[in-house]
Structure 1
Amino acid sequence: MDKIYLTNCEFYGFHGVLPEETTLGQRFNISLVLEVDTKAAGISDDVKDTVSYAEVFETMRVIVETERYLLLEALSERLATVILQRYALIAALTVTTVKPRPPINGHFDSVAVEIRRERGDL
């Protein structure tokens, strides 16, 4: 299966367990790997024959910036479910949700959750 990558898409949201996360908000980076048969689009050179990554980006933006979840796992699951439901050409996808600077006492770059879902998982 061919793959379309949307890497390090940056959004600002209010997800988290700690009160300051839901009050102040923070940056989230989302990456997707969309498993799509791109042969028809490669031949036709027409966006109608593939998945518009601009549309997928906007779908992600609305979810991350307007909805609220306690867990990265729940946010990731919501993204996977909505994207699979909206875009019939996607056979499977991997969602990586990164919280670059969570309010945890310690030194590290980020925390992240990665999930993979297939159309049959709906």
Structure 2
Amino acid sequence: MDVIQLTGIRCYGYTGYLPEEQILGQWFEVDLRMSLDLTAAAQGDLIEETLDYRSVILAVKDIIANSKFALIEKLADKIVTTVLAFDLVQQVELKLHKPGAPIPDFGGKITLELTRKK
């Protein structure tokens, strides 16, 4: 199985448990690892035979920007489900980073990882 990775997809969104997170919003970062068969694209050299990752990036950004979930688990699941719906994608590994979690005296980031297959 072949892999396309997209790292550092950054978007402002409104998912969070606290009311101010859904009003003020915050930054989210997404890394994706998508397993698929790239044989036809490698032989034919045509965009129609591969995954147009521009579409994946736009879909991820749209979900983050326009969703208001209480939990990042729900946001991550929505992203994985959407990416897995692309024709060639057989498996998705996602890392969703919440770099500015509103937790006192915590300067790190929260990272959630999901893996799903068709």
Q: Structure 2-normalised TM-score? A: 0.96
Residue ranges of structure 2 left out of the alignment (5+ in a row): none
1:88 matched to which residue of 2? 87
1:2-81 correspondence runs (5 A): 2-81=2-81
Number of residue pairs matched?
A: 118
Residue ranges of structure 1 left out of the alignment (5+ in a row): none
- 1:110 matched to 2:106? The reply is no
SS of alignment partner, residue 60 of structure 1: helix
User: Percent identity at matched positions?
Assistant: 31
SS of alignment partner, residue 57 of structure 1: helix
Aligned-partner Cα distance in 2 for 1:8–1:16? 20
Contact kept, 8 Å, 1:7 with 1:31, in 2: the verdict is yes
Aligned-partner Cα distance in 2 for 1:5–1:55? 14
Give the C-alpha shift of residue 61 in structure 1: 1.0
Deviation per CA, 1:57-101, whole angstroms, max 9, x where unpaired? 01111111011111111111011111212x111000011110001
Q: Structure 1-normalised TM-score? A: 0.93
Aligned-partner Cα distance in 1 for 2:68–2:94? 17
